[in-house]
């Protein structure tokens, strides 16, 4: 009888310990969930608004480019939307799509397509089509920007949407932190700025 009582006491102690552990784990997880939600709420960054651009001062093609970029910035689609479903770096695909939508399509010298998926090929095309401007060019909304090392962007391209003094606002695809993003900087200070491409007919 005494052994039976001892066994029951031990069993009750074990059950109580397990219950306390489960409650403690649940409380810990709950507290961590609360902390995680609070941290996420504090660190979550909203996308900056698209700048106000007076398109009435621009040529028709430049104005259409800005409106297309504005729409794509708001949409913030995935890279494969611009690359035709191909999983690849897609900054040049984004530029190609905007130019196509704006009625000033590019012309891939290798395929004849309006899509030029590579920055190097895009650069060659801008040179051969006489649309290339060097790094000393004063950028305007609608211009294509080309970068290469040692730029922080590496080999990259995006589109000018606004100019305010030395500050140039660009929008591009395949950019941190979340795809189609907006950045403002002094482009002349970028050591890897290669030059610009101007819209056809300008």
The 3-class SS string of the chain reads CHHHHHHHHHHHHHHHHHHHHHHHHHHHHHHHHHHHHHHHHHHCCCCCCCCCCCHHHCCHHHHHHHHHHHHHHHHCCCHHHHCCCCCCCCHHHHHHHHHHHCCCCCCCCCCCCCCCCCHHHHHHHHHHCCCEECCCCCCCCCCEEEECCCCCCCCEEEEEEEEECCEEEEEEEEECCCEEEEEEEEHHHCCCEEEEECCCCC
Q: What is the pLDDT of residue 45?
A: 60
pLDDT, one tens digit per residue, over 169-178 is 999 999 998 8
% residues pLDDT > 70 (the chain): 78
Check whether 56 has a pLDDT greater than 70.
yes
Task: Give the residue-averaged pLDDT of 43-50.
Answer: 74
């Amino acid at each position: 009888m005494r052994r039976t009582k001892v066994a029951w006491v031990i069993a009750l102690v074990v059950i109580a310990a397990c219950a306390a552990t489960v409650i403690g784990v649940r409380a810990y997880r709950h507290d961590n969930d609360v902390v995680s939600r609070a941290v996420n709420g504090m660190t979550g960054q909203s996308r900056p608004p698209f700048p106000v651009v007076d398109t009435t001062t621009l040529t028709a093609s430049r104005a259409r480019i800005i409106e297309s970029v504005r729409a794509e910035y708001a949409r913030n689609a995935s890279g494969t939307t611009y690359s035709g479903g191909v999983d690849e770096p897609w900054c040049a695909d984004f530029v190609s799509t905007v130019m196509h939508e704006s009625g000033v399509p590019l012309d891939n010298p290798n395929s004849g397509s309006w899509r030029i998926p590579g920055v190097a090929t895009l650069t060659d095309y801008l040179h051969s089509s006489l649309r290339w401007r060097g790094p000393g060019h004063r950028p305007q909304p609608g211009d294509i920007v080309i970068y290469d090392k040692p730029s922080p962007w590496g080999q990259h391209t995006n589109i000018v949407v606004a100019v305010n003094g030395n500050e140039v606002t660009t929008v591009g695809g395949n950019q941190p932190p979340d795809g189609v993003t907006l950045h403002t900087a002094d482009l002349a200070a970028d050591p890897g700025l290669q030059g610009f491409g101007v819209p056809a007919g300008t």
